Amino acid sequence: MITLRNVHKSFGAQKVLDGLDLDIPDGKITAIIGPSGEGKSVLLKHLIGLLQPDSGTVEVDGESILNLRRSELNRIREKFGMLFQNVALFDSMSVFENVAFPLEEKTSLSKEVIRGRVLSALEDVGLKNIEDKFPDELSGGMKKRVGLARAVVLNPKIILFDEPTTGLDPIGVYNICNLMQLLQAEGTTTLMVTHDLATAFATSDRFTFLHQAHMLFEGTEAEMKASDIPEVREFLAPTEDSLFV
């Protein structure tokens, strides 16, 4: 579904991605894990053309997304649903209007169909009867779930999650995990950046570990837990001494 080859990206003297090769399999949930500041969110932004690599290739469905005209890039982006850390809800719009926005912008569905799709998406993320509220009336965790409802309401082929469970209570985390698995059953490809290993292990088929601009590991949960790569082992089970290194 998504292929990156020899991708390099630097911001000034800081190298963020250094020759990254990555394959995101169709219909699977892939978790991108690793310490903070290692380029995981930068990687997601490359997949939808928000950032361009300094060199290398990025392909979606066998099609390069580099150096496209805006109209061509928008066509590629329509395959994606996106939930980034800041959520980016429209403060002047109600919850209903926020979730309905992509349907109204990109489809010709009737108001009745749109309303049904919006309410269903909100229910899928564990939010009912809040469609008339505004973002400033919601907790951080509720905003995150509204953003997720907006990300999935168009039934995208690919969903990108940046820390989807941050700020959620256990019920919210359960709803997110359940939704990911339901989407996978429908054939959706998911790429998730997360520090929440419990969520990653509960949902993901594949794992990629980024460290100091390099991909140190790619494989299954069992392969990762059996890995003898020191950085991977430390990340999965840090010792008391390692916390102060």
| pLDDT (0 to 100) of residue 239 | 40
Do 56 and 161 belong to one domain?
Answer: yes
| pLDDT (0 to 100) of residue 130 | 94
Closest by alpha carbon to 83, among 29, 178, 151, 183?
151
Do 23 and 44 belong to one domain?
Answer: yes
Report the C-alpha gap between 155 and 159 in whole angstroms.
Answer: 9
Do 161 and 75 belong to one domain?
Answer: yes
| pLDDT (0 to 100) of residue 238 | 56
Do 142 and 162 belong to one domain?
Answer: no
| pLDDT (0 to 100) of residue 244 | 38
Spell out the SS3 assignment of the chain.
Answer: CEEEEEEEEEECCEEEEEEEEEEECCCCEEEEECCCCCCHHHHHHHHCCCCCCCEEEEEECCEECCCCCHHHHHHHHCCEEEECCCCCCCCCCCHHHHHHHHHHHHCCCCHHHHHHHHHHHHHHCCCCCCCCCCHHHCCHHHHHHHHHHHHHCCCCCEEEEECCCCCCCHHHHHHHHHHHHHHHHCCCEEEEECCCHHHHHHHCCEEEEEECCEEEEEECHHHHHCCCCHHHHHHHCCCCHHHHC
Domain boundary among 105, 126, 155: 155
Q: Which domain holds residue 175?
A: 2-79+157-244
Do 240 and 187 belong to one domain?
Answer: yes
Do 201 and 213 belong to one domain?
Answer: yes
pLDDT tens-digit series, residues 74-108 = 889 889 998 877 788 999 999 999 999 999 988 89
Number of domains in the chain: 2
Do 161 and 110 belong to one domain?
Answer: no
Report the C-alpha gap between 189 and 9 in whole angstroms.
Answer: 25
Edge-first strand order for the sheet with 14-24 is 14-24, 2-11, 55-60, 63-64
Closest by alpha carbon to 19, among 211, 206, 209, 213?
213
From residue 28, give the alpha-carbon distance in Å to each of 111, 164, 186, 220.
Answer: 33, 17, 11, 11
Q: How far apart, in Å, do the first and last CA atoms of the chain sit?
A: 38
| pLDDT (0 to 100) of residue 228 | 92
Do 136 and 163 belong to one domain?
Answer: no
Do 185 and 126 belong to one domain?
Answer: no
In a domain, 73, yes or no: yes
In a domain, 85, yes or no: no
Low-confidence ranges of the chain (pLDDT < 50): 239-245
| pLDDT (0 to 100) of residue 245 | 40
| pLDDT (0 to 100) of residue 243 | 42
